[in-house]
Structure 1
């Protein structure tokens, strides 16, 4: 039976309890709002797993222009420069706001904020907490603040299944938990549901993050942007653990070097070396692995005995598999880490569906372009979470609920992960992309457990098929060059299905 939560009707609804969702709820306060989360508050979010920190141009030798130049360089021609400049300019205010909410950032010997260096940054500008535990420290502080705020109603253990509309106007959210279904009647919904790493076998993200917010918005008719751009972190701990433990870029920022099984520093002659943009490093590591080699991150000389103090989380992960990073090189491999694409939003977080806002990794604001600059993600999540919340204050007329649809099946990624991992990885080509489209289409059109993950994966595959170039994180072996003019991609679910259906079945190995 599906219960309509009339006592919470017409309040803003936030889906997700990562940084974007938590800070949006706190920004809306004292206006009453509802925050729904699949796990416990703050758990199973990529924000909580972030190691590096928040990129903020607050150093004496830094500026918005310098930070913007680095962002545009990493974005490989696809950033929205105006949107990026606005988000970057708000970094000092974000750091101050988080400090007021209880986040204790690391300080240097002079009592100033300690600033780290990461790949493709021209200055030390990464503000971190707890060494490499920045995300956990930030989420812990915001979770305490949300728990203490009487204006925020938190509903845990609930999964959003469908956005409801009445005569084309947003009217509520259909959710499910272990006891059944529920409807939250509201004309204002913010999706802050994270990325799509769970579509891949090798990922540093929570396994349940398969792009649920993207699927919800796509089914509601929203425009999606840059779906083909999936960033693979070059250095995940190579082992049997799933998800893979992340070896933060900050380790390379402190001087650690990449070597192969022969002890060769294969990045030495690449511009930027170990601190080249992530797509460059990921492809280089993939090439070493493809030839049958192995890759290691060697921190012995640069960090050595300081490793446990500077990177306690990474040190613990390494020791759990029998590796002492102070004494031994760390085996690494690329893994799906961040999605630059998502639901297209404006500078207030509005999607193309009236009443639907999106923030954090589920959104595509234009900040990241074709390849995210390290540690810009938490900055974007905080800025856009606050902007969306402030914009949601505008009252929208309540819309009567129509007939509640049947509860969709719980999403399951098992059938989708092998297809995506095999065909939509670091290196792509037409044959693999078309194979993925052919296998994903029947699942995306169906109503069983694989429908929502298959929809997100199909959007990635179709967008990848349309981008006949290599740019940023999208690398095609059959189109190794860039187009002379960079263009962001736009697509809807309806359009993606049309493209997939129009392809000749003989070109695909269709699944049964």
Structure 2
């Protein structure tokens, strides 16, 4: 970390996905960008297939896009946030094109638009067929590398936020096994979601919620942690913990149908994601196979429409033009995260968040397809604008970094724990058991803290809504309310659980208090 002292005082952006890159590019002031992997890799943004939702079609309006977003969010969207973010959609597409993103053109030369589930109009601008995320990241990575005021630290991650007098005073960064404290009065968390904490996920390995843990330990409020979106159609098979290849929503939007081994269509493939995921899970639990049949929809030309998915299928010996694709649900997106306002500010002064790590109010209880890239880019612009407008305190020197407290939870154990308790269908006994198993580890292990807070929020939500489904509380409450947790409240709730009769240890081998 040669020359690290020269970076003191610059805003630090933690995360090398679309939200982090866009924040750095759209900001005018010098900044530091932390990317745990080589820039552009191990970021969920690069895996996005469908595209970016925006009301740019001749038959579309922002009002229609807003209505679709609110309907999918099942009563928990923040209307002002939806209006602001969706309303910026057309400008976002134009802004991405100006940064070098090449969208697939339609016959009129304007971006071609796909239809996806729960959208009333074709409004998904895409690139490379099903390679929108990769194309977007290619363009923004190139721009960042060509921008001298952005200092990129690759192989570096945020370890801890230093808080003094109630506000951010610095960050601890790990790079190459070395921990360095950097004074700064501004940090932006854009570290992505929590999918890698689950056994079946489309998320890259880095999506372990570590940015959420840093924010929570600094005192930030985490909102709606229980809302996890399971994508209905990940390619079936593969080892636990390894990212599952996604079979994009756009395939169903193009006319592919969900069938079982008899060829019977058993659900509406264009219903909201939570509805389709539960239908598939129930059909699998009943002993059926679930397959996505695109043969009639793409008429022997699947690879032209969806080249990335075709390659993933070919690697498994599957030909979508000749046979249906075996699919099953997998964790795909986390609607919860660090509670922010529309400027991206958290409850801790000096701490901003954007992208999947943030809870802006756009997604509510269930994200509308292709609203994630939209939110990442638009909200990155909001954060950048806000940071350019504020006067940051002069940073003071920091003490030595705090040493690690000890060993953490084995990731395989965490997969088993959350997979059983916090999957598509949940109940009180399973969630309480998982929270108790994680309780002894939350003080020292960031993944355990995030997993426990997710389970606690799910325990407290005694209803089924959007991406949260309780078998013991199947009805939706008449009044929608957000859940909010801090580390302090989580400790109180865990202490209350631990005072009850102990639950027997489960097969994952984790110790139960």
Q: Same fold (TM over 0.5)?
A: yes
- Looking at structure 2, the residues matched to 5 and 111 of structure 1 have their Cα atoms a distance apart, in angstroms, of 47
Q: CA deviation at 1:3?
A: 8.9
- Looking at structure 1, the residues matched to 471 and 34 of structure 2 have their Cα atoms a distance apart, in angstroms, of 42
Which residue of 451, 470, 491 corresponds with 1:497?
Answer: 491
Give the aligned partner of residue 191 of structure 1.
189
Deviates more, 1:58-67 or 1:132-141: 58-67
- Looking at structure 2, the residues matched to 214 and 382 of structure 1 have their Cα atoms a distance apart, in angstroms, of 19
- Looking at structure 2, the residues matched to 156 and 387 of structure 1 have their Cα atoms a distance apart, in angstroms, of 25
Give the aligned partner of residue 452 of structure 2.
458
The size of the alignment, in residue pairs, is: 501
Q: Matched residue of 1:276: which SS?
A: coil
How big is each residue's C-alpha offset from its partner over 1:6-40, in whole Å with a ceiling of 9 and x where there is no partner? 210100110111111001000113x2111011001
Q: CA deviation at 1:507?
A: 4.5
- Looking at structure 2, the residues matched to 501 and 410 of structure 1 have their Cα atoms a distance apart, in angstroms, of 22
Q: CA deviation at 1:297?
A: 0.2
Give the aligned partner of residue 270 of structure 1.
none
Q: For 1:414-453, what aligned pairs fall within 5 Å after superposition?
A: 414-445=412-443, 447=444, 451-453=445-447
- Looking at structure 1, the residues matched to 397 and 413 of structure 2 have their Cα atoms a distance apart, in angstroms, of 34
2:313 is equivalent to residue 318 of structure 1: yes
2:396 is equivalent to residue 400 of structure 1: yes
Q: CA deviation at 1:427?
A: 0.4
Deviates more, 1:404-413 or 1:254-263: 404-413
Q: Matched residue of 1:236: which SS?
A: strand
Q: Matched residue of 1:62: which SS?
A: coil
Q: Matched residue of 2:219: which SS?
A: coil
2:242 is equivalent to residue 247 of structure 1: no
Q: For 1:30-179, what aligned pairs fall within 5 Å after superposition?
A: 31-179=29-177
- Are the counterparts in 2 of residues 234 and 281 from structure 1 also a CA contact under 8 Å? yes
- Looking at structure 1, the residues matched to 158 and 30 of structure 2 have their Cα atoms a distance apart, in angstroms, of 20
- Looking at structure 2, the residues matched to 97 and 232 of structure 1 have their Cα atoms a distance apart, in angstroms, of 30
- Looking at structure 2, the residues matched to 216 and 410 of structure 1 have their Cα atoms a distance apart, in angstroms, of 17
- Are the counterparts in 1 of residues 19 and 354 from structure 2 also a CA contact under 8 Å? yes
- Looking at structure 2, the residues matched to 299 and 36 of structure 1 have their Cα atoms a distance apart, in angstroms, of 40
Q: CA deviation at 1:410?
A: 8.5
Q: Matched residue of 1:335: which SS?
A: strand
- Are the counterparts in 2 of residues 228 and 341 from structure 1 also a CA contact under 8 Å? yes
Q: CA deviation at 1:304?
A: 3.0
2:344 is equivalent to residue 349 of structure 1: yes
Q: CA deviation at 1:413?
A: 2.8
Q: CA deviation at 1:494?
A: 1.1
Q: CA deviation at 1:179?
A: 4.2
Q: CA deviation at 1:402?
A: 3.8
Runs of at least 4 residues off by over 2 Å:
2-5, 166-169, 401-415, 507-512
2:331 is equivalent to residue 332 of structure 1: no
- Are the counterparts in 2 of residues 438 and 509 from structure 1 also a CA contact under 8 Å? no
- Looking at structure 2, the residues matched to 468 and 493 of structure 1 have their Cα atoms a distance apart, in angstroms, of 21
- Looking at structure 1, the residues matched to 95 and 257 of structure 2 have their Cα atoms a distance apart, in angstroms, of 36
- Are the counterparts in 1 of residues 180 and 401 from structure 2 also a CA contact under 8 Å? no
- Are the counterparts in 1 of residues 181 and 398 from structure 2 also a CA contact under 8 Å? no
Q: CA deviation at 1:159?
A: 1.8
Give the aligned partner of residue 217 of structure 1.
215
User: Residues 148 and 410 (structure 1 numbering): CA distance in 2 closer, same or farther, change over 3 Å?
Assistant: farther
- Are the counterparts in 1 of residues 226 and 468 from structure 2 also a CA contact under 8 Å? yes
- Looking at structure 1, the residues matched to 368 and 135 of structure 2 have their Cα atoms a distance apart, in angstroms, of 21
- Looking at structure 2, the residues matched to 339 and 237 of structure 1 have their Cα atoms a distance apart, in angstroms, of 20
- Are the counterparts in 2 of residues 232 and 336 from structure 1 also a CA contact under 8 Å? yes
- Are the counterparts in 1 of residues 191 and 209 from structure 2 also a CA contact under 8 Å? yes
User: Residues 4 and 223 (structure 1 numbering): CA distance in 2 closer, same or farther, change over 3 Å?
Assistant: farther
Q: Matched residue of 2:301: which SS?
A: helix
Give the aligned partner of residue 12 of structure 1.
11
Q: CA deviation at 1:457?
A: 0.5
Q: Matched residue of 2:84: which SS?
A: helix
Give the aligned partner of residue 384 of structure 1.
379
Give the aligned partner of residue 471 of structure 2.
477
Q: Matched residue of 1:502: which SS?
A: helix
2:287 is equivalent to residue 288 of structure 1: no
- Looking at structure 2, the residues matched to 113 and 347 of structure 1 have their Cα atoms a distance apart, in angstroms, of 28
- Are the counterparts in 2 of residues 469 and 479 from structure 1 also a CA contact under 8 Å? yes
2:201 is equivalent to residue 203 of structure 1: yes
Structure 1: which 5+ residue stretches go unaligned? 268-272
TM-score normalised by the chain length of structure 2: 0.95
2:304 is equivalent to residue 309 of structure 1: yes
TM-score normalised by the chain length of structure 1: 0.96
Q: CA deviation at 1:401?
A: 3.5
Q: For 1:362-381, what aligned pairs fall within 5 Å after superposition?
A: 362-381=357-376
- Looking at structure 2, the residues matched to 397 and 124 of structure 1 have their Cα atoms a distance apart, in angstroms, of 47
Q: Matched residue of 1:83: which SS?
A: helix
Q: CA deviation at 1:322?
A: 0.3
Q: Matched residue of 1:301: which SS?
A: helix
Q: Matched residue of 1:331: which SS?
A: strand
